[in-house]
Structure formats: structure tokens, C-alpha cells
A and B are shown apart, each in its own frame.
Chain A
Amino acid sequence: MNLLKIENLHAQVDGHEILKGIDLTIHTGEVHSIMGPNGSGKSTLAQVLSRRPSYEVTAGSVSFNGKDLLAMKPEDAACEGLFLAFQYPIEIPGIGNAYFLRSALNAIRKYQGLDELDAIDFLPLFREKLKLLEMDETLMNRSLNEGFSGGEKKRNEIFQMAMLEPKLAILDETDSGLDIDALRIVAQGVNAMRDPERSMLVITHYQRLLNYIVPDFVHVLVDGRIVRSGGPELALELEEKGYVSIEADSRQAAGASA
């Protein structure tokens, strides 16, 4: 069953068209990776799917879980089970991590018609997931991402994802800025979340991350369009040849078929 179906998606930011017709279908349980050079529209796709208000969709449709994703507010998309691990997680002073996370979890549970968790029910779940990400509990008493190192912020994103258990997790360059140990821990957390009921969209520049998180499908995004799709081997080919040759190849292929 398809969880996410993107058809002919066009989007712009400040009047500049960034996405120029994206088609992508993700079925339940699949892990897809999107690779592409800087400025190709990878992060824009992530922001549009998570319904950031400043990103304007100009054409196309997206269904998520059988519903019209483009009609949803960001919080509704989140409550429907869409999670974005931010490339640059935001700091919010004065809000404790644990408090924030319980509020978020309960907002989602309420939307889904489940009972809200009190602090006592919340704590065991919280501790279990902290262990998974090898995170220090004292970090959780501090303000949301405030004073966290780059690596700690990224780990906190995956920790939040583990707590909120989304249907679709979009990881926006989660590997950028991570040293090799942190990368291993983050990948371990993500892999532990792989589940026949959960899909993932992993956005990255480098093949490196895909050694740890092996995707079912790889797509290459260039200039707002997916120019090639394939299996995990495509990532290796990219690493070897670079985006330029792939782009040239795909242009040729497009020219030949036209």
C-alpha cells in the first residue's frame, strides 16, 4: 500500500521555482534515499512535505496515508505520522527537552484519539529510547537543544523520532556535521526504527550514510527533478562518477527518448 504519493509536485520559495515536477511513491515499510548536489531541491522537498508555510506549492498533488497532505497544516501532518528530522535543529530557551517531548507526544496521541501519557507512564519509554541513542539523561533537563553540540542536536532529532514513532520519517541531511562515532549511533537508532509499518525518506549528500542505513531505493534529484532512480547500487555509482556525469547521462537518456 502506498503511504506517500507525490505527483508532478512544483514548489517555490520567494518566487523562485525550486521543485519542477517531482513524482515519487513510497510504500509502507520502504526506505528511500534522495541524493543530489547542493541546491537541487532536496531540503525544499522535505520542507514542502512537512508543510512549512513559507514554501508555496504551485502545482501537483501529494497524498499521505490516503489523505491530501497539501491541505494539512504542519501540526496535522505531524499528527498524521509525518516526522522531519531537521538539518538545523532549532534552539528554544526555557523549554525543557523532556517537557517539550511529552507535550508533543500527547498532542499527537490526542489527535489520534489515544489517552495522554502522564509523567509516570512517560518516563520508562523516555529512558528506553535515551539508551538507544546513547544519550545522557541530564541533557534532557536542559532547554530544548540549547547549548547542544551539533552532534547532540542531530542525535536529539533521532531520539525525538524514536519517541514519536512516525509512519513516515524524513531525515534531512542528518549525517552532515557528524563525526564517525556519532554517525554510527544515529544510524543504529534509525535502523532500530526500521519496521514493516514505517517508511523513511533519507536525504543526503554522501553515500557514506547509506553504508549504515541501506535504502531499498535511491533517487537522484537534480535541478528540481528526479533524474534517476534505482537500487542501493546507484548510490555507489554516484560516489564513483559524481553528480555531473549522472546528470549528463540522464539528459542524454531523456534526449534519446524524446
Chain B
Amino acid sequence: MGSSINEIRDLTQQDYKWGFVTDIEDERAPRGLNQDIIRLISVKKGEPEFMLEWRLKAFRHWLSLEKAQAEPKWANIHYGPIDYQDIVYYSAPKQKPALNSLSELDPEILRTYEKLGIPLAEQQILAGVAVDAVFDSVSVATTFKGKLAEMGIIFCSFSEAVTRHPALVQKYLGSVVPHTDNFFAALNAAVFTDGSFVYVPKGVRCPLELSTYFRINAAETGQFERTLIIADEGSYVSYLEGCTAPIRDENQLHAAVVELVALDNAQIKYSTVQNWYPGDKEGRGGIYNFVTKRGKCAGVNSRISWTQVETGSAITWKYPGCILQGDNSVGEFYSVALTNNYQQADTGTKMIHIGKNTRSTIVSKGISAGHGQNSYRGMVKILKGATGARNYTQCDSLLIGDKCGAHTFPYIEVKNSSAHMEHEASTSKIGEDQLFYLQQRGLKLEDAVSMIVNGFCKQVFRELPMEFAVEAQKLLGISLEGSVG
């Protein structure tokens, strides 16, 4: 213990050596990644020792992977080398650049907000406009937190959970996505700065959709985000991640980790709308989104559903999966991935059937426009003990124009002969005849495109919470603007 206290003291003194500006809003670590940076992160966040050790273990693993050049290269995506020593891994929760009014905002972003129908107050929050008035949404968030606390539901930032609920964090952190899982998961484990934490106690049905939006006034989550959701026996929770509004970020690399744990008879529904900056029309800039998301149906009759609408990022590398360990557990994956201009997406799921009578459903809809490249990659694994397992996979691609691509990489591994597997796939193109038919009835070309695309995605959208679904529909229309005609 003593030595670590000394270390901490050393580190806090090192602050000065690095010449940190005293103004907390501008506090940043120097570029690069080493043990000192990781210690700094841990100290800055006031973490207990087990966290620091966990981070350092992950870091050492990541170093060995980096040395072995084990950054995954199997995905159907292409990008230049990432300089991991040229990234700032810690910067204190900072104010976003404050604008005095929305009129100072990039008109392009403002126009998108309006098209999405985002209320003015929310537009101001999203844009980081400095305001004195107390927002409704902020007060809603406060009442909302009170109500959850009464029911015993913990919903807070990851940092808060680490200090206030260390036992829960220690028990479940890394239990679904261990730091050894993959290159980006190792990096995340070493350097993540914040994220969300949810715990729903036994038998409690969370009455509201939990959303990162309610924490929008809280700390910025940063590029290495970590989320952990635990649904105890017989509980239910629905969690919404992301936002349809376009989010710009100066950090190009994003490597998030999400872990879900569902105990006996529990259910978790996780919905994502991802609209990070995709780069410009020529493919310059844009976020690299390398995400590891996995849920463990640890208990009997448990259920985890992933629903994602991915329209942003220059590169998406993401396979939200389910480990179906409990007997009769159910895993679901519903996905819409859109690539326009020069965007690339390699996304899909992993369903690992371990328990008896486990079931999984995969519905993937890929839309490619412009020069976009869209790959579905899915793995369904039926282990030896998974008697009576069933999987249904449907994977459809829609092409707009003739310069884009759609690819499918399904992997199926069955070790129990009682398994039932179904796989359907289709590729179609938006036809000139379809567009003309809709236009002849009075619809504008862009409305016709968005109607056809939304029809194509209907199976996925109906899995989204209502208001999210409406926004997602509008978002697809906006993301496809200019792709036809």
C-alpha cells in the first residue's frame, strides 16, 4: 500500500513537472501512452487501487499486442496507420467551445438540427451554446435521477461508479469483454476515461428508457468510453446510446467498450444511434469507430437485444454480440448500417450459444451509397452442450448507385447436431422504376429515396423506442441527401 501512496504522491508532483496549466478546464496530459499516463488517469479520477492494477495489466497486454503488430487487419476496411503515441489520452472534463448563440454555429449543422426537429433548447446544449437559463431537460434529469434512486437503480457515470460502487465494478468489469479480448479492448481498458454505469436490482423494471442524453450536462465521455450495465435477476432495462444529431469531435480514434450482464430472467435492451462525423464528401477526416460491445446472458431465461443504427463515422468496426450462457436465453441483433460517400463499415454480430435451448435472431440491413463500402460480418457458434439451439439470420443489402459495395461474411460453427440454423440473404438496388413510381405520385426525389430506404429498414426500426425510431428515419434521409439524381 505504502509504495502506491508514494507513487501517487510522485505523480501528483509530476503534474508540475509537466507544466500543467492550473486552469482545470484546459488540463491535458502530454501526447503519448506509457505507464505514467495510465497512473495519471487513475490518480486524476481518484480510483481505488484495483482499477489502477487492472489498467496497467491491460496496458502491458496492449503493449505486447502492439509489438506483435496485432492490431486487427482482417476487417474489410482500409485506413492508414494510427500513431498511438500521437494521441492525448487524458484531458480533464472540459467545456466545449462556448458560443454565444446558435447563429454562431456552422449553418450546415444548424440545418441538420432543424431537419431532425430537435427542440431549440436541446440544439443549444448539443452545440455547446453558453446559456444562463435552467433547461427543462436538466431539471427533468434531476427528478428522473431521484425516481431511479428510490427504486434502487444505479445510473451514473463510470467514474462515479468506480468510487461509489467499487464492489459491483470490480465484480463485473471485464467479465464480458476481458482486456485480452482484442487490441482495441485492451487499449480501452488501459486508458478509458469515462462512460456510463447501470445497475438494476432484483425484480425491478426500470420505468424509463435510460439515455446518455440525460447525462448530457455531465462530463464529456471522451474517445475511450466504457459502459457497464448489470440487470440483476428478474429485472428489465432499456438503454439508449447516442444521439441523432451530428457530433463532431477532434479525436479521430474512438475505441469504446460496452459490457452487458443479464442474470436469471433479466432482460436488457440496448439501442444505439451513431452519427459521428463521417468525413467530407471526398472522404477526408471523419471518426474511426472501433467498438467492442458484448452482452452476457449469464442467467436462465435471460434476454439481450442489440439494436443499432449506424450512419456516421468514416470507419465503423463493430460487432455487438451475445454470449448465451443461461439455458433458454435469447440474443437479438437488429442493425441498420449506412455508408455514403467514402464511408466504410464492417459490422455485424457474434452469437455464442452455450446453454440449452438458446435462441438468437440476427437482422442486418446494410445500405451503401456513393463510394461507400458496407460489410456484414457475423459469427454464430453453437457449442457442444447447446442442445436445441436455434438461430435465424437475415442479412439484406441495398445499393444506391453503381460505385458502392456490399459484402457479406457469415461464419457458422455448429458442434451440436440438434441445432436449427436459418440464413437468408438478399441484395437489391434502388431502381429507377421505383423512384419514378413514387415521384409520379407527387413525392420529391429525396423523399422517394428516403421512403424506399425506410421501408427497407422497417424490421429494425420497429425494434427501436418510438421517438428514437422517428429520428432515425429522418436521419437516414439526411445522410443520403445528394446520393441519387
A residues lining the B interface (CB < 8 Å): 50, 52-54, 73-75, 77-79, 83-84, 86, 89-90, 92-95, 100, 103-105, 107-108, 111, 143-144, 160, 164
Contact = CB atoms under 8 A, between A and B. Distances in A.
Interface of B: 431-434, 436-445, 447, 451-452, 454-459
Contacts of B452: 92, 95
A100 B127 CA distance: 35
A79 B442 contact: yes
B436 A92 contact: no
Contacts of B442: 75, 78-79, 104-105, 107-108, 111, 164
Given A53-B432, A92-B452, A95-B451, A103 B437 contact: no
Nearest to B396: A93
A75 B444 contact: yes
A238 to B, nearest CB: 29
| B440, B455, B458: residue with the most chain A Cβ atoms closer than 10 Å | B440
25 contacts: A52-B436, A54-B432, A74-B439, A75-B444, A75-B445, A78-B439, A78-B442, A79-B442, A89-B437, A90-B433, A90-B437, A92-B434, A92-B437, A93-B456, A94-B454, A94-B458, A95-B455, A103-B443, A103-B447, A104-B438, A104-B442, A104-B443, A108-B442, A143-B455, A164-B442
A7 to B, nearest CB: 23
Contacts of B438: 92, 100, 104
Given A79-B442, A90-B431, A95-B451, 14 more contacts: A54-B432, A74-B440, A75-B440, A75-B443, A75-B445, A78-B439, A78-B441, A86-B440, A89-B437, A90-B434, A92-B451, A94-B454, A164-B441, A164-B442
A100 B451 contact: yes
A74 B437 CA distance: 9
Contacts of B431: 90
Contact of A107 (B433, B436, B443): B443
A74 B434 contact: no
Contacts of B456: 93-94
A52 B438 CA distance: 11
A122 to B, nearest CB: 15
A89 B440 CA distance: 11
Contacts of A78: 439-442
Nearest to A104: B441
B455 A93 contact: yes
Contacts of A104: 438, 441-443
A143 B455 CA distance: 9
In the A-B complex, the 9 residue pairs with the smallest Cβ-Cβ separation, listed nearest first, are A94-B455, A104-B441, A74-B439, A94-B458, A107-B442, A95-B455, A90-B437, A78-B442, A108-B442
| A50, A78, A111: residue with the most chain B Cβ atoms closer than 10 Å | A78
A53 B436 contact: yes
A74 B447 contact: no
B472 to A, nearest CB: 14
B455 A92 contact: yes
A78 B455 CA distance: 22
A103 B433 CA distance: 19
Contacts of A79: 442
Contacts of B440: 50, 74-75, 77-78, 83-84, 86
Contacts of A75: 439-440, 442-445
Contacts of A94: 454-459
A73 B454 CA distance: 23
Contacts of A107: 441-444, 447
Nearest to A90: B437
Contacts of B439: 73-75, 78
Contacts of B454: 94-95
A53 B442 CA distance: 15
Contacts of B451: 92, 95, 100, 103
B441 A160 contact: yes
Nearest to B432: A54
Contacts of A52: 436
